[in-house]
Structure 1
Amino acid sequence: MRKFTPMFWIAISMGALFVGWGALFPNNLLEVMTGIKTLFLDKFGWFYQFSASFFIIAAIIIASSRYGKIRLGKDEDRPEYSTPTWFAMLFSAGMGIGLLFYGVSEPASHFSTPPFGDGGTEESARVSLRYTYLHWGFHAWAIYAVVALALAYYKFRKGLPGLMSATLYPLIGEKTKGPIGYAVDIIAVFATLFGVAISLGIGAQQINSGFNYLFGWPVNFTTQLIIMGFTTILFIYSAASGLSKGIKYLSNTNMFLAVLLFFAFLFLGPTQFVLELFSTTFGSYVQNLPSMGLRFSPFNQEDNQWVKDWTIFYWAWWISWTPFVGTFIARVSKGRTVREFILAVIIAPTLVCSLWFGVFGGTGLYFELIQGADVSGQSLETALFYVYKLMPFGTVLTIISLLLITTFFVTSADSATYVLGMQTSNGSLNPPTLVKVSWGLIMAAIAAILMGTGGVEGLQAATIISALPLGIILIFMTAALFKSFQSELSSAKKEKENVEETASHKKAQ
């Protein structure tokens, strides 16, 4: 196979043009992207909301139906990785830096500015956690699960390339290898670039805040750019070392540090209060899941804007991550059954994420409501370190957090470069190193451009824009998957009937 495919040259050229646009005309870039973002939210906000619920329903149907017995690979294939390693790899790629960036800050933000009602109350504290669970829970992982399932099924069972376009083969056939297929894959590439850019941006911001807390480093774009440069070298090296080495070892390191930090936070903080709060808010989240997932406030523009700023942004973020996370999860899931895959990818990470936010967010709410601290008054990137000042061993916890943010940064980025390499190398499971390095540099440049022009707002605008066309593609992908499952079961049933009929004839003779 050639090292550089036509798809690679088209996509990398478009990425370079975007970087050039941002470098030469940053204000124009921000103005254009912000305008498109506002248009999409005003006209198509409903689409993001309905899409997230659509994927939950699709996942439930798939897992509970006869389709669940289908294996992602040949019938005799078995998983390549142990279940703990598999879980660590999919979890590290799936959420990563966001858990630390938003762990304390999102519940605190919703507490002071809730989706409805008055802020700063006990009720807004409960609501804040419920909506944080919503944003990081079943909806998010259902989106990942359905897309990853389609990619794994067509790659390992049907022998098609591991490309987003290949999953549409049952609907458009050979057109997946022409301009339509190229367009689908290019949309997937740029959604990945913009989605991962958010993680790189907020990761650099939070590392900067941690060093400010420890050493008094200035919090500014220059410092964040230096941090991004250093971590870019690390993740490109990790990606070049290969999946079984760099990403596997870093994913296991992530899990160790994350578990260590979680239990330290739980037992050094108000343990009883946090666990009681988690119990009541998680139960309420599950009970109100359908209405929360479809909520708008058409008669209250302020509350409606909250939905756009938070809930719809998250749905766009998760959709934009699906080519990246879906491809990566698919790559490490060969040999598992459809039902095992769906249940593991949705339920286990949702419970872990909810516990994480219950402990970190609940601790922040405790210090605000009970102790009178101003947690909600901190910026998103500094709230975690502010809480550390109120806890014993705050400096140690800060160091562990910085290590974890860095390893999450590296695993998310090197997984993304691997996936971008796959998507632009005809779905190769081992894309050339030079291709991965090229995408690593472009991805870091895009993150720096968006951070420099509009900060987190610029990153969010890029994500929301890329998620709309990709979301439409994902719905067609799901329809194609159902069509393929039904066709396979029908063929298997017909084959079984033929075998039984042949056996019956032989017995009669």
Structure 2
Amino acid sequence: MKKNRREKASYNNPVFKVSAIVIAFFTIWGALSPNSLAKNAQSVLNFTSYSFGWFYLVSVAGFVAFCIFLAVSKYGKIKLGKDDEKPEFSLFTWISMLFSAGFGVGIVFWGVAEPLTHFTNPPLEGVQPQSEESARLAMRYSFFNWGIHQWSVFTIVGLALAYFQFRKKSKSLVSETLEGIHIKRGKEPLKKSVNILAVIATVIGVSTSLGMGILQINGGLNYVFSVPNNAWMQMVIVLILLALYLASATTGLHKGIKFLSNTNMILVIVLMTFFLFKGPTVFIMDSLVLGIGDYLQNFAEMSFFMTPYSGDTWVQNWTVFYWAWVIAWSPFVGSFVARISRGRTIREFIVGVLVVPPGIAFMWMAIFGGTGLYMDLFQNTAIAEAVSKDVTTAVFVLLQEFPLYFFFSIIIMALILIFLVTSADSAVFVLGMMTSGGNLNPSNTVKMIWGVLMAGITGVLIISSGLTGLQAASLVSALPFTVILIMITLSLYRSLRKDRAESQFEMEHPEQMQEFDRKAQ
């Protein structure tokens, strides 16, 4: 009886109702009029990326600076929980969950495709395509787009949620991270609006990644096994994925998500190790070291790089899209990262979230993307040309140059599928929390509703406009949430400063604190 009342209460709140209606509306629109949705998506994509690209760049650069400041400051020693609390998960499992939820699907999709695309179409003017200079530039910008800028966004949201949830005993809701800002009027409507925007941004952001993964699986099946590459086959993959992640979501955080995340990480390590030693090992390590050096040396320039004088759209098509994509992802990844990070210090959290996953991404890019560059430069292959024709087949075109091609193609497709299931499983869990008043164990019914809606919006975005529709959806949903992220950053800083001041006062005036405690009791 209590369970039924609890599940019923999950439906009876405006956050669940409004966000579900909005997502259902777009799903129905795309199903009934895909051409209309595609046309509007393209218009919005062009307007948003052109008009607000500067805003995304400045905001994310600010998030990076704030994360670094917190990590090296006196606030780094503060624990996300009680002072004597221990981490809930082992370091390996924690890192595996971070990587799988954060961008496992994206790095497999773009790990070969992005360096080879920049190799063919260099980011800077005057650079000869498919030259030594364009190869070096391709690796530098691939590292930048998958570096700490992306993870600074996840770090801000995750840290704020973990701090207010485990340190201040607040609910696990994005709106609770604004407690450090003292709002006198309209506080409750603002909180509800923030939570609704967080839910919508999460669904759109996750759907973008699911859509890319589904397109890549279909592209791989077509390239390797000649399976039809069309909307019908993609819908079949959507349905299979839906069944898998709903089955996993009902097993809970400590079973399904933990098992899948560890499996992902083991597969990633095995694949990277094999191709590191089977491929051009010295070239890979040289390009990794050079790429990191170029990344650090040009860090500030790339952070604010725009092209107002030439009118080139490279920044909008790549960096702006990436920043918008991760901002749309951030409520989900942040909520999930916060949920698994109880008991860690702020410094440990920032180092683990901001540095380790980008480090893994750099290795993946250097091994797979670097190998593709090596083969085109020194072995006269045409991997870049094949990638320019169909970006979804990039990794499979590369694998064809190695022994055990079919075996590794199946492994890669399995890895993509597991990453998709892990991301969707985690997202369904987080959406359940967001729309159930911050309940850390949302009901299976609510999770299943969000699972179906997420699959629906993914399907209609693929059918209506493919990758363009997915990109447009991320850009639009991210714009208002960027403003909220700035507010969250300010709120977190004010709360940390107050927390530190109170702790200092307690250490310096223990007798007065005991008197306060007696009066409170």
TM-score normalised over the length of structure 1: 0.96
Q: Which residue of 1 aligns with 2:304?
A: 294
Q: Deviations over 1:228-258 (max 9, x none)?
A: 1101100111111111110000001111111
User: Distance in 2 between the 1:172 and 1:131 partners?
Assistant: 40
Q: Deviations over 1:447-489 (max 9, x none)?
A: 1111111100000000001111001100110000000000111
1:323 aligns with 2:331: yes
1:251 aligned counterpart, secondary structure? helix
Q: Which deviates further from its counterpart, 184-193 or 17-26?
A: 17-26
Q: CA deviation at 1:31?
A: 2.1
1:123 aligns with 2:130: no
Q: Deviations over 1:214-235 (max 9, x none)?
A: 3210111211111111011001
User: Distance in 1 between the 2:221 and 2:35 partners?
Assistant: 30
Letter in 1 for 2:198: A
Residue correspondences, number? 501
Q: CA deviation at 1:260?
A: 1.1
Q: Which residue of 2 aligns with 1:209?
A: 219
Kept after mapping to 1: 8 A contact 2:41/2:468: no
1:114 aligns with 2:122: yes
Letter in 1 for 2:372: G
Counterpart mapping for 1:82-481 below 5 A:
82-116=90-124, 117-173=127-183, 178-302=188-312, 305-378=313-386, 379-481=390-492
Q: Which residue of 2 aligns with 1:5?
A: 12
Q: CA deviation at 1:76?
A: 1.8
User: Distance in 2 between the 1:221 and 1:32 partners?
Assistant: 20
The sequence identity of aligned pairs, in percent, is 44
1:377 aligned counterpart, secondary structure? helix
Letter in 2 for 1:166: E
1:493 is matched with which residue: 492, 504, 512?
504
Letter in 1 for 2:193: A
Q: Which residue of 2 aligns with 1:21?
A: 29
Letter in 2 for 1:179: P
2:145 aligned counterpart, secondary structure? helix
Return closer, same or farther for 1:108/1:3 CA change in 2, 3 Å cut-off. Answer: same
Return closer, same or farther for 1:46/1:350 CA change in 2, 3 Å cut-off. Answer: same
Kept after mapping to 1: 8 A contact 2:10/2:435: no
Structure 1: which 5+ residue stretches go unaligned? 504-509
User: Distance in 2 between the 1:312 and 1:48 partners?
Assistant: 7
2:129 aligned counterpart, secondary structure? coil
User: Distance in 2 between the 1:71 and 1:322 partners?
Assistant: 22
Q: Deviations over 1:257-279 (max 9, x none)?
A: 11111112212211111111111
Letter in 1 for 2:396: F
Q: CA deviation at 1:213?
A: 3.1
User: Distance in 1 between the 2:351 and 2:501 partners?
Assistant: 24
Return closer, same or farther for 1:447/1:495 CA change in 2, 3 Å cut-off. Answer: same
1:298 aligned counterpart, secondary structure? coil
Kept after mapping to 2: 8 A contact 1:170/1:484: yes
Letter in 1 for 2:371: T
Return closer, same or farther for 1:407/1:177 CA change in 2, 3 Å cut-off. Answer: farther
Kept after mapping to 2: 8 A contact 1:169/1:176: no
Kept after mapping to 2: 8 A contact 1:5/1:426: no
RMSD after superposition? 1.5
Q: CA deviation at 1:3?
A: 3.1
Kept after mapping to 2: 8 A contact 1:110/1:128: yes
1:55 aligns with 2:27: no
Q: Deviations over 1:278-312 (max 9, x none)?
A: 1111111111111111101211112xx00000010
Q: CA deviation at 1:118?
A: 2.4
Q: CA deviation at 1:64?
A: 0.8
User: Distance in 2 between the 1:30 and 1:161 partners?
Assistant: 38
Return closer, same or farther for 1:355/1:337 CA change in 2, 3 Å cut-off. Answer: same
Q: Which deviates further from its counterpart, 229-238 or 32-41?
A: 32-41
2:46 is matched with which residue: 29, 38, 50?
38
Kept after mapping to 1: 8 A contact 2:506/2:513: no
2:391 aligned counterpart, secondary structure? coil
Q: Which deviates further from its counterpart, 203-212 or 84-93?
A: 203-212
Q: Deviations over 1:326-383 (max 9, x none)?
A: 0000000000000110011111111111111011100010111111111112221111
Q: CA deviation at 1:129?
A: 0.7
Q: Which residue of 2 aligns with 1:74?
A: 82
Structure 2: which 5+ residue stretches go unaligned? 1-5, 515-521
Kept after mapping to 2: 8 A contact 1:176/1:182: no
User: Distance in 1 between the 2:140 and 2:185 partners?
Assistant: 44
Q: Which deviates further from its counterpart, 393-402 or 244-253?
A: 393-402
2:344 aligned counterpart, secondary structure? coil
1:263 aligned counterpart, secondary structure? helix
1:445 aligned counterpart, secondary structure? helix
